[in-house]
Amino acid sequence: MLQGQKELAIKPIEAAIITLLLMGLVGYLIIGLEVVPQIAIISGIALLLGYGAVKRVSFKELDAAMAEGAKSGIAAAMIFFFIGMLISSWMASGTIPTFIYLAVDLVSGKFYYAIVFVVTSIIGLSIGSSLTTAATLGVAFVGASTALGISPVITAGAVVSGAFFGDKMSPLSDTTNLASSVAGADLFEHIKNMAWTTIPAFILSFIVYMMISPADSHQSIKQMGIIKAELLDLNLVHWYSLVPCAILAVLALKKVPAIATLSAGTISALLISFFINGGVDGKGFLALLYSGYKSGSGIQEVDSMLSRGGIESMMFSISVILLALSMGGLLFRLGILPSLLSVVQRFLNRVSMLIGATAGMAIAVNFMIGEQYLSILLPGNAFKEHFKRAGLQPKHLSRVLEDAGTVVNPLVPWSVCGVFIASVLGVPVTDYALFAFFCLFSPLLTIFYGITGITLPKRSKLPQLEK
């Protein structure tokens, strides 16, 4: 992406100033003024266009850079459309309501958030998709939490933590395969090596979720009974409603392409919904896929957690993603990102600095561009030779890329994952981010390992590059 374009040559200090202005503007608008991400990102694009005009870059070239940046998001946009249809069809077929029915049974347990974290971890590991996990089982858990008076924000944090644990460690995950490929590591060596940071992060997260989980409450148990009864009255709880989920899992295990897998899950759910609802005409099916499922139980808590999905619900997410990637295209064309990368590479004379710089760049790319794949690709290509000089194996690089790249993306309000998850769960990124403990612990642990040298070859200094 964008690497074939002619880049503007600028000084690192200039690139740093523009970056600080850009991040300050976008951050202030989203967090400070709480405007929608689209307006904040467009403001950032306007700042970069103004900078490009000052540097005498033609608007034709700037337009091309934005188009090239947005082009990389087309595949994600298509998948989001299909996930929107999947959610609405799974609501109508009773797939997600059945999950909700099973999930509310867990409320009587003492460690609700810990259970959410573990279950979503298992599902994420099984299907290799954090977004699918969040959009299906995550919706069920957050919906149940909202209805039962349990914090949906902390539940969302547990869902995100579990989903991204599974995504990070699954051999079916695209980011896991991408990180190992970029670094040149064997896939299963990469997964095995990630256990050094991932397992401690998992254990720490699990302990915290157990500590903050709510105790049993009479009100919650009473409300749970009301919700379960209403789901049964709506005729949305059936064992066979879980068949679309099983189909999705099997196809994912067989590495069937995402759109084909999601289509199979949607079609099977539509067939089940046809029988559950006593027959729905073709127009009704099409309306369901576009506008989402609408619950009419009359109970606000139930209706709010079931009325979801549809292509229309994904429009917000897709617009933010395309805008963010367009901004990323400008950052490349104007030479801002390449300039920042070049200055970092000059000061890598210790292993600890190399690990920290790689993790820092992965995190920075997530915040600057909001694209998960680029948070792996850019630092991976930039620091690959430095890892070789340091005597570090490819698996060490791929681990850092996942620890600081993959799992940080859902913590960024304008990122691809952040926007999508906030949309499907109905919880803002700025709310759940502080409770996504696994995603917070992972980059901290990988930097800590870099400083202490744990699991790394015993070499503190790097030999100088040959000139």
> Phi and psi dihedrals of 275, rounded to 5?
-80, -35
First-residue to last-residue Cα distance in the chain: 28
When pLDDT is averaged across residues 81-98 and rounded to a whole number, the result is: 85
Which tokens is 314 given? 């994904």
Which tokens is 400 given? 């850092």
List the chain domain ranges. Answer: 12-59+319-452, 75-314
Task: Give the residue with greater pLDDT, 295 vs 400.
Answer: 400
Q: Mean pLDDT score of the chain, rounded to an integer?
A: 81
Q: Which residue has the tokens 């992406």?
A: 1
Q: Which residues pair with 147 in a beta bridge?
A: none
Per-residue pLDDT tens over the stretch 265-287: 899 998 898 887 765 555 677 78
Per-residue pLDDT tens over the stretch 233-250: 888 888 888 899 888 878
- For the cut 50, the answer to whether the pLDDT of residue 358 exceeds it is yes
The band of 3, judged by pLDDT with boundaries at 50, 70 and 90, is very low
Reduced 3-state DSSP string for the chain:
CCCCCCCCCCCHHHHHHHHHHHHHHHHHHHHHCCCCHHHHHHHHHHHHHHHHHHCCCCHHHHHHHHHHHHHCCHHHHHHHHHHHHHHHHHHHCCHHHHHHHHHHHHHHCCCHHHHHHHHHHHHHHHHCCHHHHHHHHHHHHHHHHHHHCCCHHHHHHHHHHHHHHHHHHCCCCHHHHHHHHHHCCCHHHHHHHHHHHHHHHHHHHHHHHHHHCCCCCHHHHHHHHHHHHHHHHCCCCCHHHHHHHHHHHHHHHCCCCHHHHHHHHHHHHHHHHHHHCCCCCHHHHHHHHHHCCCCCCCCHHHHHHHCCCCHHHHHHHHHHHHHHHHHHHHHHHCCHHHHHHHHHHCCCCEHHHHHHHHHHHHHHHHHHCCCHHHHHHHHHHHHHHHHHHCCCCHHHHHHHHHHHHHCCHHHCCCCHHHHHHHHHHCCCHHHHHHHCHHHHHHHHHHHHHHHHCCCCCCCCECCCCCC
Task: Give whichever of 5-19, 50-64, 110-124, 209-223 has the largest mean pLDDT.
Answer: 50-64
Quote the pTM value: 0.69
**pLDDT of the residue at 402:** 93
**pLDDT of the residue at 407:** 92
The band of 1, judged by pLDDT with boundaries at 50, 70 and 90, is very low
Per-residue pLDDT tens over the stretch 391-428: 888 899 999 999 999 899 999 988 878 988 998 888 99
When pLDDT is averaged across residues 157-184 and rounded to a whole number, the result is: 83
Which tokens is 63 given? 């337009």
Whats the size of the chain, residue-wise? 467
